[in-house]
Structure 1
Amino acid sequence: MHKINVHLLGHMSQCETQESSHDSKSKDFRQSDSYSVNETNHTKAPISSTGGTNNKTVPQTSEQETEKRIIRRSPWIDTSSSESNSIHHVVPIKTSDTCPKENTEESIIADLPLPDLPPEPPTELSDSFKELPPINYGQSNSSLGGIGDCNAYNAINSKKRSLEDNETEIKVSRDTWNTKNMRSLEPPRSKKRIHLIAAVKAVKSIKPIRTTLRYDEAITYNKDIKEKEKYIEAYHKEVNQLLKMKTWDTDKYYDRKEIDPKRVINSMFIFNRKRDGTHKARFVARGDIQHPDTYDSGMQSNTVHHYALMTSLSLALDNNYYITQLDISSAYLYADIKEELYIRPPPHLGMNDKLIRLKKSLYGLKQSGANWYETIKSYLIKQCGMEEVRGWSCVFKNSQVTICLFVDDMVLFSKNLNSNKRIIDKLKMQYDTKIINLGESDEEIQYDILGLEIKYQRGKYMKLGMENSLTEKIPKLNVPLNPKGRKLSAPGQPGLYIDQQELELEEDDYKMKVHEMQKLIGLASYVGYKFRFDLLYYINTLAQHILFPSKQVLDMTYELIQFIWNTRDKQLIWHKSKPVKPTNKLVVISDASYGNQPYYKSQIGNIYLLNGKVIGGKSTKASLTCTSTTEAEIHAISESVPLLNNLSYLIQELDKKPITKGLLTDSKSTISIIISNNEEKFRNRFFGTKAMRLRDEVSGNHLHVCYIETKKNIADVMTKPLPIKTFKLLTNKWIH
């Protein structure tokens, strides 16, 4: 029996976290769908559901009640400098920014897609709250959103869905799965014992899903005659293109015995059906088994960063740009290859014992991507008058046009459509360039750009989604969808715990379930990375459990896929900004959930907005173990600043308008530390150096640090699972 002996997580006492305001925030979100706005009443107001700081309002308790709830406080942090500021107003840090000082607070938060909160009357503490049950020190389960027992609040006024509702909605149990896919009836040969923490620590990356077919699958043994004929047609088209581009030396064939084996590269045909329905064949080299001596490991194959594409799209909307989409056929084959390499001829030649020498960068070779990048980069700079933006590979610009390059796909942005046409004419002189969408209409135009289905009406709006793609891909995962026609209202339920008891599975069954998790989380990650930033917390948490495929973990994954299916028509909505002054506004909203991950790591989340439009998000486990809520918030903010500065540089390169940079957090104690010059606030050298660096970054980059109510902090969806009402409230203005 194969065993992995790793100790489970130590128990986390709830009393250690009840004092922390972030934990208070997390519990209040999980227990109730309502909020209280009476935050200035320090005697009768309930524990604030806004949370997120160390100086939130706490109800007065009697000595008897205090004895019932023994709280071990975290080291004290002075927050007196922030108490004088009303929590209903933003608190900007004083910097030497060149932007006008007046109305800076209002300008930072103006036009952000923050929720509208209805006013609510103040509420009294319920009698049931005063009779809280004793704290359970033996809690040892880790939830989808954290560690600890939150059931004390849930038992009082939680509106969480019942277990019966959950079973009715989801119905994706392993029994159903096994019924649809009959497993082997052979007796078990061996079993594998898996510990949760060992499995979480072993996760390094998510393997991509294989979406292609081999030659034998597409042609030799394909029983679909019509599809087989289309693949045969695609095969011959690819061979003709290879010959046209003079990919190999056709004058001489080499005997295998005469060539150094390490210079021989295996090759194969792969087949797939593109999103537009066309059948594609491609002859590729097996670069995965290529000898290290046959390529330069220092060369890089660059593609446009997703944030660069989203930034360019956002600026295009605000500046009424034309968007033109191009495709360069057989792009890699335009790049010569320097090394001496040989491949086996295609199957139809019937020369399995011979070799041919490569002359062009065949798809699949380690160096092909880098060779093509250097080729097209040189042409764009020398022949098209472009320059590459420093620090942002594959983003090229001149005074009139911006180009985003992703392998053989190009997206052009310009104020004047004729500027795009001039670039196209120059590209056609050297490359087989196909115009996918010129973008000349003033009506709504539909694009398919790098997997994003975009609807764009110049000067009005832009909508980004993946409905058609998801409608095609999700059913192929063989996940039971909508068994009774009911739809899920949230991607996950707060208060659910992942059981830490070790698994004991047959070796083959374990591998099959891990592979299944990789497929499901792989698709979810792709969708979340592209535009569904509201799902990133759930995706990140479940991705850590890929190697721990318990029934519960799989059911949670099914629930996430079910929610994506139910909301596949949702889009990321942008509207053209109408600023009072011609400036760009770049804002990051930050949040952290203290100690709610295995090994008491904190979950941090950031959402980036350009002129009020969400262009990206990140949810991840903090790399360092934070010792307080404030430290977790500081860590989250410090993680956001480098990307914020890089985006700021990119925006200024593409659009010469002045830029205002804002950083929003719901932690008043963090703002106090950033503003204050008192080093006594720092408990130790490590915490001090982290905070001092943040001070330097804020002042040196002219960042406006502002306070935002937790009830309006849309980054909260990045750090914990939320009740349905709260989840909808924080996302319905930018995802709908």
Structure 2
Amino acid sequence: MIFSPVVKHSSIRAFFGIVAMHDLELEQLDVKTAFLHGELEEEIYMDQPEGFIVPKKEDFVCKLKRSLYGLKQSPRQWYKRFNSFMISQGFKRSQFNSCVYIKFVNGSPIYLLLYVDDMLIAAKRMKEITTLKAHLSSEFEMKDLGAAKKILGMKIKLDRKSRFLFLSRQSYVEKVLQRFNMHDAKSINTPVAPHFKLSALQCPSSGEDIEYMSRVPYCSVVGSLMYVMVCSRPDLSYAMSLVSRYMANPGKEHWKVVQWIFRYLCGTSNACLKFGKTNEGLAGYVDSDFAADLDKRRSLIGYVFTIGGCAVSWKATLQPVVALSTTEAEYMAIAKVCKESV
């Protein structure tokens, strides 16, 4: 099994919502050479590395006692080692997200989120975080990054006085705009305009259009914008759902929509998620259109979940099958959002 242990983006945002609501301390750690901590279960041999070949034993090979970077097993073995250590410390792993750990000390929770080798820790008292850091450092070689400031390229700003936490991708958005030479574009107020009606019929058919679109970095742009949407911009969900349907063979009209999204980002690059102290708990909203897809007449579903009034999970996507009525489309949308709520 090949995978790296990563916490879901929705779990990270829900975690930040809890931190802001309960005014928790928030710290960050990094594991040095994480994959080297894994313990191999198979018998594996490797050639002697260049520069470390034993004289007169050039034909010998090395038997690995620990995992190395480059092995298929390394990410899995690192996670198994870390998970067993956390369980031994009294933490419980979330049954819905295997990289979320919770432990209660005197009725107060300690949270730990793991993204490969990056960790976020939150607790009511700094003493509990310091104790956990000491236990982790005794088992693994750790780098203490102090108060959390950045995770997965997202900037974290925790204002303890006003009890607000801000999550932003402004620097990444500005880099993307610069990279595709759209930083000086005239800004607009909507992520996509209602007059855009995209379909497969607008895909290039003539040699001239095919040649023109071959010079357009459509896939690269959509992928870059998709990452912005997934991390911290629910307002881009519908627009990205629209343009990502034509990745295989985009046309000029599809490219116009992407340029429109760029212009929207020019004026909203500093937009961020704002988590704060509130009595509001988890709330979910869902809606569906009916057969709006011009190609296969499928319906679009859109949902968003909030904690404390701030979005933590969102999606806009076409339903997998064709609905026969608006009622059926709505039922399919509710079924989808109920799964996400669980």
- Give the TM-score normalised by the residue count of structure 2: 0.87
Aligned with 1:599: secondary structure? Answer: coil
1:490 is aligned, of 177, 190, 197, to 190
Instruction: Please name the residue that 1:421 is paired with.
Output: 130
Superposition pairs of residues 259-298 of structure 1, within 5 angstroms: 297=1
Instruction: Please name the residue that 2:284 is paired with.
Output: 588
d(CA) in 2 for partners of 1:594 and 1:482?
A: 38
Superposition pairs of residues 359-438 of structure 1, within 5 angstroms: 359-382=65-88, 384-399=89-104, 400-437=109-146
2:258 is aligned, of 548, 552, 557, to 557
TM-superposed deviation, 1:349: 6.9
Q: Is the 8 A contact 1:586 1:611 kept in 2?
A: yes
Q: Is the 8 A contact 1:531 1:616 kept in 2?
A: no
d(CA) in 2 for partners of 1:360 and 1:535?
A: 44
Stretches of structure 1 that go unaligned for 5 or more consecutive residues are 1-296, 440-445, 646-736
Aligned with 1:397: secondary structure? Answer: strand
Equivalent pairs, count: 330
TM-superposed deviation, 1:366: 2.4
Instruction: Please name the residue that 1:503 is paired with.
Output: 205
Aligned with 1:333: secondary structure? Answer: helix
Aligned with 1:595: secondary structure? Answer: coil
Aligned with 2:236: secondary structure? Answer: helix
User: What is the one-letter code of the residue matched to 1:562?
Assistant: R
TM-superposed deviation, 1:504: 3.9
d(CA) in 1 for partners of 2:238 and 2:71?
A: 35
Q: Is the 8 A contact 1:305 1:393 kept in 2?
A: no
Q: Is the 8 A contact 2:16 2:275 kept in 1?
A: no
Instruction: Please name the residue that 1:469 is paired with.
Output: 172
C-alpha offsets along residues 140-171 of structure 1, whole Å, 9 cap, x if unaligned? xxxxxxxxxxxxxxxxxxxxxxxxxxxxxxxx
TM-superposed deviation, 1:350: 9.8
Instruction: Please name the residue that 2:227 is paired with.
Output: 526
d(CA) in 1 for partners of 2:276 and 2:164?
A: 4
TM-superposed deviation, 1:356: 5.2
TM-superposed deviation, 1:541: 1.5
Larger Rg: 1
Aligned with 2:289: secondary structure? Answer: strand
Rate the CA distance shift 1:357–1:418 in 2: closer, same or farther, 3 A.
Answer: same
Structure with the larger RCO, 1 or 2 (CA within 8 Å, 6+ apart): 1
Instruction: Please name the residue that 2:150 is paired with.
Output: 448
d(CA) in 2 for partners of 1:530 and 1:306?
A: 7
Q: Is the 8 A contact 1:305 1:392 kept in 2?
A: yes
Q: Is the 8 A contact 2:177 2:183 kept in 1?
A: no
Rate the CA distance shift 1:509–1:356 in 2: closer, same or farther, 3 A.
Answer: farther
Q: Is the 8 A contact 2:182 2:262 kept in 1?
A: no
Larger % of strand: which? 2
TM-superposed deviation, 1:570: 1.1
Superposition pairs of residues 118-137 of structure 1, within 5 angstroms: none
Q: Is the 8 A contact 1:602 1:625 kept in 2?
A: yes
d(CA) in 2 for partners of 1:405 and 1:512?
A: 40
Q: Which moved more, 1:332-341 or 1:447-456?
A: 332-341
Superposition pairs of residues 187-266 of structure 1, within 5 angstroms: none
d(CA) in 1 for partners of 2:322 and 2:271?
A: 36
Q: Is the 8 A contact 1:453 1:464 kept in 2?
A: yes
TM-superposed deviation, 1:550: 1.5
1:539 is aligned, of 228, 240, 251, to 240
TM-superposed deviation, 1:346: 6.1
Q: Among the aligned pairs, what percent are the same residue?
A: 24
Superposition pairs of residues 76-95 of structure 1, within 5 angstroms: none
Instruction: Please name the residue that 1:624 is paired with.
Output: 321
Aligned with 2:6: secondary structure? Answer: coil
Stretches of structure 2 that go unaligned for 5 or more consecutive residues are none
TM-superposed deviation, 1:510: 8.6
Q: Is the 8 A contact 1:326 1:435 kept in 2?
A: yes
Superposition pairs of residues 669-688 of structure 1, within 5 angstroms: none
User: What is the one-letter code of the residue matched to 1:334?
Assistant: H
- Give the TM-score normalised by the residue count of structure 1: 0.42
User: What is the one-letter code of the residue matched to 1:608?
Assistant: F
TM-superposed deviation, 1:552: 2.0
TM-superposed deviation, 1:498: 3.1
Rate the CA distance shift 1:613–1:337 in 2: closer, same or farther, 3 A.
Answer: same
d(CA) in 2 for partners of 1:553 and 1:300?
A: 34
User: What is the one-letter code of the residue matched to 2:281?
Assistant: K
d(CA) in 2 for partners of 1:449 and 1:348?
A: 37
